[in-house]
Structure 1
Amino acid sequence: MAVEAFGRVDGVEVQAVTLSGGSGPRARVTTYGARLTELWVPDRNGVLADIVLGHRDAAGYAATKAYLGATCGRFSNRIAGGRFVLDGHVVEVDRNEGAKSLHGGRAGFDRKIWEIAEVSARSVTLVAVSEDGEMGYPGRLALQVRYWLDEADRLWIAMEAQTDAPTVVNMVNHSYFTMAGSGSVMGQQLRIGARHYTPVDDALIPTGEVRAVAGTAFDFNALREIGADLPAPDGFDHNLCLTGPLEAKWGEALRFCAEAVDAASGRRMELWTTEPGVQFYTGAHLAGGLPGKDGAPIAAFTGFTLETQRFPDSPNQPQFPPARLEPGQRYRHLMAFDFTPAPA
């Protein structure tokens, strides 16, 4: 276990924690935004590579709006018009993407400096508070995010929240993955356990329809190259509806989300989750020359996200899985990443 200084944001010290079980995968997490900043995974020959995009230090993350590796909330993804009705009252939340709210607003969970509550060689628990009225959301939330490597070297992320008043919660992890460790992800392979998706309008707000993926660019039910059939020049930025039921998996109730593979190296990842949807985004808007960990700029299509979630705009779409949280309830969102190299 190593806890290190990771720079300062607004004069406050930020820390980073490295989790490792030995010779296998290792992860690095920072208190700024409860972010996953590094994830080292072996290929079929045991050679480790860092498969998540990021910056060198806290200042790099604070200077950008790409949400790299961040815990996002209070309501992640988009809310149309930055407003919804809760118990007959109109709730107005921060609009930070034109007329929409995205990932909780300009000062969402990704901008918080979280506190380390517990830490060990394999695990770190981070805590924070989202006050009543923060970014317009009702209710005071007690927040917790735990990252840990289990004895089989799987990486787990558990996002939890409790409230003192009715509210909506949809926390996501916003890591950008690259199974090769660098370069374009267009030739990397992906399988997603979803037979439906939620079409969007020009503002990337779901229309309310749930449409079958069969015969469309959104059909990833068989492993295929990410760039083989893009729906538009900007690629993917869509919610897919996970098909499988919750099943007993590694001591938890989880459903299959995705399998990602780099055929050349054999680096492979499976993702399982508690959530009903996943936002698959191919990083078209990373083209602004963001400085990466090696100092080279991060380019478009050099990372993809798998943000397991409740559906976008669900506070305004009653037919979607609900995101409401009541006092006395606990919001708990699990992600489990399993790394088993693909055969040659």
Structure 2
Amino acid sequence: MKKLIVSALAICTLLSCTEKKEETTLSGLKKADFVSTVEGQPTNLFVLKNKNGLEACITNYGGRLVSLMVPDKNGKMTDVVLGYDNIADYVNSDGNFGALIGRYGNRINQGKFALDGAEYELPHNDNGHCLHGGDKGYHTRMWTPKQVDDQTLELTYLSKDGEAGFPGNLNIKVTYKLTDNNAIDIKYEAETDKPTVVNLTNHSYFNLSGIPGSQILDQIVTINADTYTPVDSLLIPTGETPSVEGTPIDFRQPKSIGERINEPFDQIVKGRGYDLNWILNTKGNINQPAASAKSLNNGIVMEVYTNEPGLQFYTGNFMSGKDKGKHGVVYPHRGAFCMETQHYPDSPNKPEFPSVVLRPGEKYMSNCIYKFSTQN
């Protein structure tokens, strides 16, 4: 009888382990598929939930937002971000789905800048320029996780002096919080021991429609900006800040992404669609909406709030239609958009732009909030 009881307990234990191993999230992700090691450090999937049933899944590889489940106008829970359903695909991809970006989000001209009389050389990973901190930017790094509570995840990372050519040991903490007013609130903090430049952001690809593998051309966007930073043929800002008035990049009134995306406007042609930095009218006031997007298909609305001076709006122009994401869905050309809160591209080489310099004794603080609701 004792042997029988032991055997039964063993079977129960095995079943329990199997169930735990096969634990899935609301978005259909298997947590076990994110348990691995990268650079000798453990990877995992962390699940945040709020009182309204929303769910955010984040991996500490690249600090990536893997899925974000929000309700549509009929209460159907919908994943609004693109990504992969296992850690191996993230590691093997050269994309930035959901990732934390740094040390400098966006482009730095010729991968060079000078600070306090010293010159620094960075990776040249984008037409001779440095993009998103180089190929080995923070989107490829292992972040140390701490799940504070059911709604909050803290990620920390020490970016060492000289990493990717940037000066200074930079201690970073990023906090993801899924709030009870249905927002994913991302707070960035950083301190350095040597003068450096910092511009952190999140590179989530959004599609609000709830239709797997669809384009985002019918989704409605507003951007609270009167001016923008035009770019040259290699997408480096010229230093000018003209008005959006009378151009296809005027989003002060709501319009669909596809309405004017194919017009022969110089800045659209260069980016193969929308891929520009807008100068926000909010001037750092995080209580004013910087931008919004809406799906006419299901009524999901996303509002963006930030204390940053700029917003990069990108419409998946370089998506090839060959990338297979979560649950085997093929992501098409212009299958998502990004709204990256930021300082302006190439600010280290543009003294007329707001400064991105961080010095010892100062604290870098940036905040981006993606808030969700519905409209009929």
Where on the TM-score scale, by shorter chain, does this alignment land: which range? over 0.9
| Aligned position for 2:21 | none
Query: Letter of the aligned partner of 2:181 in structure 1?
Result: A
CA–CA separation in structure 2 for the residues paired with 1:310 and 1:49: 31
Amino acid at match of 2:245: A
**Is contact 1:195-1:212 (8 Å) kept?**
yes
1:96 positional shift:
1.2
Indicate if the aligned counterparts of 2:51 and 2:180 stay in contact, CA closer than 8 A. no
Aligned to 2:8: none
Classify the secondary structure of the residue corresponding to 1:240.
Answer: strand
Aligned length: 338
8 Å CA contact 2:278, 2:312 repeated in 1? yes
CA–CA distance in structure 2, aligned partners of residues 104 and 87 of structure 1: 20
The equivalences for 1:100-111 within 5 A come to 100-111=129-140
Paired AA for residue 236 in structure 2: I
Aligned residues: CA RMSD: 1.7
User: What amino acid does structure 1 have at the position aligned with 2:254?
Assistant: L
Aligned-pair identity in percent equals 39
**Is the partner of 1:91 in helix, strand or coil?**
strand
Query: Structure 2: which 5+ runs fail to align?
Result: 1-24, 262-267
Counterpart-to-counterpart distance in 2, 1:61 and 1:193: 33
Q: Read off the aligned partner of 2:218 and give its amino acid letter.
A: G
Equivalent position SS for 1:128: strand
- 1:167 correspondence with 2:223: no
Q: Which residue identity does 2:279 align to in structure 1?
A: C
Task: Check conservation: 1:260, 1:270, Cα contact below 8 A.
Answer: yes
Report the equivalent of 1:188: 219
CA-CA distance at 1:25 after TM superposition? 2.1
Distance change >3 Å, CA 123–CA 133, structure 1 → 2: same
Determine if the alignment matches structure 1 residue 223 to structure 2 residue 254. Answer: yes
- The answer on whether the counterparts of 2:85 and 2:327 sit within 8 Å (CA) in structure 1 is yes
Instruction: Report Cα offsets for 1:202-237 as digits up to 9, x if no partner.
Output: 100001111100111110001110011113382111
| Map of 1:240 onto structure 2 | 278
The 8 Å contact of residues 187 and 227 in structure 1, kept in 2 or not, is answered as: yes
Among 14, 20, 24, the alignment partner of 2:49 is: 20
1:265 corresponding residue in structure 2: 298
Range moving further from structure 2, 145-154 or 28-37: 145-154
2:170 counterpart letter in structure 1: L
C-alpha displacement of 1:4:
4.2
For 1:238, the aligned partner's letter is L
Between structures 1 and 2, the one with greater helix share: 2
Question: CA deviation digits over 1:248-296, x for unaligned, max 9?
Answer: xxxxx44421111001211111110010001110011111512200212
1:201 is matched with which residue: 213, 232, 236?
232
The secondary structure found in structure 2 opposite 1:142 is: strand
Task: Trace 1:248-287 onto structure 2 (pairs within 5 A).
Answer: 253-287=286-320
How many Å separate the matches in 2 of 1:10 and 1:294?
Answer: 26
Which of 119, 143, 160 is matched with 1:131 structurally? 160
Separation in structure 2 between the aligned mates of residue 13 and residue 131 of structure 1, nearest angstrom: 20
Determine the structure 2 residue equivalent to 1:321: 354
Give the secondary-structure state (helix, strand or coil) at the position aligned to 2:110. helix
Aligned to 1:67: 96
1:62 aligned partner, one-letter code = V
Partners in 1 of 2:330 and 2:180 — Cα distance?
36
Distance apart, 1:340 and its partner CA: 1.7
Query: What is the one-letter code of the residue matched to 2:154?
Result: T
Deviation of 1:135 after TM superposition, in Å, equals 0.2
Q: Normalising by structure 2, what TM-score?
A: 0.86
Q: Secondary structure at the match of 2:373?
A: coil
Q: Is the 8 A contact 1:242 1:276 kept in 2?
A: yes
Q: What's the secondary structure of 1:214's corresponding residue? A: coil
**1: CA distance, partners of 2:284 / 2:132:** 26
